[in-house]
């Protein structure tokens, strides 16, 4: 079977390039070039030029470096430490303590960025140094951050929801509403995992202070959160008031972070240059990966692999539950090589008639699809959150993937929960009027 041979060659090529120390983006591009030369009549060089230009010239992509810059500013000024000072009194009594800031921070920022990579990178810039300084284990810091970063796809506004809504011809507003409760469910599952870890490791769960604090004392300590809350309110408010798109809101976030840091006396020419260069380096790493993934997507499209596999699944005649399970495996495996938006574009035309014939609501299916694409974000060899964290934390990709396994399993649990309790997804869109 040609498709099987393509998959084997692709996996061996990617693993071979990565094992030899080639940069991830170049490894993806090289693998795509190889399979195109072997299995497609289309000239590989021409396809590479077109796909890389298309990936790098997207206006939507402009939000990513801006959010990264905002994160660098927060990281290099008091704003990040203020976040922890304000949350510490409230979280000290909860098992897991400040590890919960990974989840809470990602959930809040997900409502701003709509991007998994931007959420993971921005929150990671703030939390990784702070949590390491406080003695939390790297496995928990990076594992929870990898999982929570995927909330950028699920909690609206989400770019991939827009792509799916257009592909499936369903209401994007209803998709946005449908993602709210599942996003909160996943965040609570992640926090529950940290809670249980805290109970099992009391030696790493000591409060930062032995003195008991009253409610008013906690409230007073939370005054340090005011600048961060104002910044979040400015970004979110500009989006939900209709005054700005997500990209424009990212610019609002950068300006807000610069203004707050200046008013606090933390901004200097040195800090400005360091934050700008830090964001530039991080974006260049991510952009090279995105360009390589785009070329790989184009190569697989020309070969016809995603379409062939989708047609095969449609021909199996499975029950509703069986179809969902097979599709979950299918999208996780395909997500190892393709980004989420490409997966939607390449497969929806073939799969949607089968999904509708099985009696599956397309709004519910859209949220299910985002869940399984989230899993692919932390699955090697092409898990974008793994790459982002590997570069930020200076850890091997295999280590990040290993510590992310508990988050991956929690996502599978979440898929079963929304399958057996579809109201988690459908309650808000079904009870909304005028949408």
> Dihedral through CA 204, CA 210, CA 215, CA 221, nearest 10?
-80
Contacts of 383 (CB under 8 A, 6+ apart): 336, 376, 377, 401
> What pLDDT is stored for residue 199 in this prediction?
86
Is the C-alpha dihedral spanning 164, 166, 170, 176 positive or negative?
positive
Q: What angle do CA 29, 19, 404 make, to 5 degrees?
A: 90
CA–CA gap between residue 38 and residue 44 (Å, rounded): 10
**Best-predicted range by mean pLDDT among 35-49, 271-285, 400-414?**
400-414
CA–CA gap between residue 49 and residue 51 (Å, rounded): 6
CA–CA gap between residue 19 and residue 27 (Å, rounded): 10
pLDDT digits 0-9 by tens, 293-352: 778 777 877 777 666 766 777 777 788 898 899 889 888 887 776 667 667 766 776 677
pLDDT digits 0-9 by tens, 142-184: 889 888 888 877 887 677 787 788 778 888 778 888 888 999 9
> What pLDDT is stored for residue 419 in this prediction?
94
Residues in the chain: 435
Query: How close are the terminal C-alpha atoms of the chain, in Å?
Result: 46
Contacts of 233 (CB under 8 A, 6+ apart): none
User: What mean pLDDT is reported for the chain?
Assistant: 79
10 Å Cβ neighbour count for 237? 13
Which of 144, 120, 130 is CA-nearest to residue 79?
A: 130
Q: Look at phi and psi of residue 70 and say left if phi exceeds 0, alpha if psi is from -120 to 50, else beta.
A: alpha
Question: Is the omega angle on the peptide bond into residue 157 within 30 degrees of 0, that is, cis?
Answer: yes
CA–CA gap between residue 371 and residue 204 (Å, rounded): 31
> What pLDDT is stored for residue 193 in this prediction?
93
> What pLDDT is stored for residue 396 in this prediction?
80
Q: Which residue has the tokens 């399993």?
A: 409
Read off the pTM: 0.72
Task: Considering only CA atoms, give the Rg of the chain.
Answer: 22
10 Å Cβ neighbour count for 198? 18
Task: Give the E-state strand segments of 48-161 in sequence order.
Answer: none
pLDDT digits 0-9 by tens, 19-55: 787 777 788 788 888 888 888 777 777 778 877 777 6
Q: Look at phi and psi of residue 94 and say left if phi exceeds 0, alpha if psi is from -120 to 50, else beta.
A: beta
> What pLDDT is stored for residue 82 in this prediction?
72
Position 81 pLDDT exceeds 70: no
Residue 83 binned pLDDT confidence (cut-offs 50, 70, 90): low
Q: What are the two backbone dihedrals, phi and then psi, of residue 171, each rounded to the nearest 5 degrees?
A: -65, 120
CA atoms in the 13 A half-sphere facing the CB of 318: 19
Q: Which residue has the tokens 């073939």?
A: 350
The DSSP code for 223 is G
């Amino acid at each position: 079977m040609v498709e099987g041979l393509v998959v084997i060659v692709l996996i061996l090529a990617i693993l071979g390039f990565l094992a030899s120390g080639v940069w991830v983006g170049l490894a993806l591009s090289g693998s795509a070039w190889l399979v195109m030369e072997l299995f497609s009549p289309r000239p590989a060089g021409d396809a590479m030029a077109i796909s890389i230009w298309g990936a790098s010239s997207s206006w939507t992509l402009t939000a990513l470096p801006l959010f990264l810059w905002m994160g660098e500013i927060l990281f290099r000024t008091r704003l990040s430490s203020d976040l922890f000072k304000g949350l510490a009194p409230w979280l000290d009594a909860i098992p897991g303590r400040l590890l919960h800031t990974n989840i809470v921070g990602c959930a809040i920022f997900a409502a701003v960025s709509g991007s998994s990579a931007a959420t993971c990178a921005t929150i990671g810039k703030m939390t990784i140094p702070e949590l390491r300084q406080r003695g939390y284990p790297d496995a928990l810091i990076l594992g929870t951050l990898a999982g929570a970063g995927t909330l950028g796809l699920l909690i609206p506004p989400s770019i991939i929801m827009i792509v799916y809504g257009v592909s499936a011809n369903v209401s994007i507003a209803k998709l946005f509403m449908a993602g709210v409760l599942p996003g909160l469910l996943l965040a609570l599952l992640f926090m529950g995992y940290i809670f249980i870890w805290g109970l099992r490791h009391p030696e790493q769960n000591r409060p930062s202070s032995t003195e008991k604090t009253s409610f008013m004392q906690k409230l007073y300590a939370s005054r340090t959160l005011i600048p961060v809350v104002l910044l979040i309110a400015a970004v979110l408010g500009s989006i939900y008031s209709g005054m700005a798109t997500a990209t424009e809101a990212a610019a609002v976030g950068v300006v807000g972070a610069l203004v707050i840091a200046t008013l606090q006396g933390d901004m200097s020419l040195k800090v400005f240059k360091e934050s700008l260069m830090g964001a530039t380096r991080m974006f260049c790493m991510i952009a090279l990966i995105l360009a390589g993934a785009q070329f790989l997507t184009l190569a697989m499209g020309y070969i016809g692999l995603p379409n062939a596999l989708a047609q095969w699944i449609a021909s199996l005649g499975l029950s509703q539950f069986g179809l969902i399970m097979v599709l979950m495996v299918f999208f996780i495996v395909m997500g190892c090589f393709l980004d989420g938006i490409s997966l939607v574009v390449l497969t929806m035309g073939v799969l949607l008639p089968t999904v509708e014939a099985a009696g599956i609501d397309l709004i519910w299916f859209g949220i299910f699809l985002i869940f399984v694409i989230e899993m692919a974000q932390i699955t090697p060899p092409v898990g974008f959150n793994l790459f982002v964290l590997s570069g930020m934390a200076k850890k091997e990709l295999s280590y990040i993937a290993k510590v992310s396994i508990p988050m991956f399993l929690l996502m599978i649990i979440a898929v079963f929960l929304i399958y057996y309790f579809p109201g988690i997804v459908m309650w808000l869109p079904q009870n909304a009027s005028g949408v």
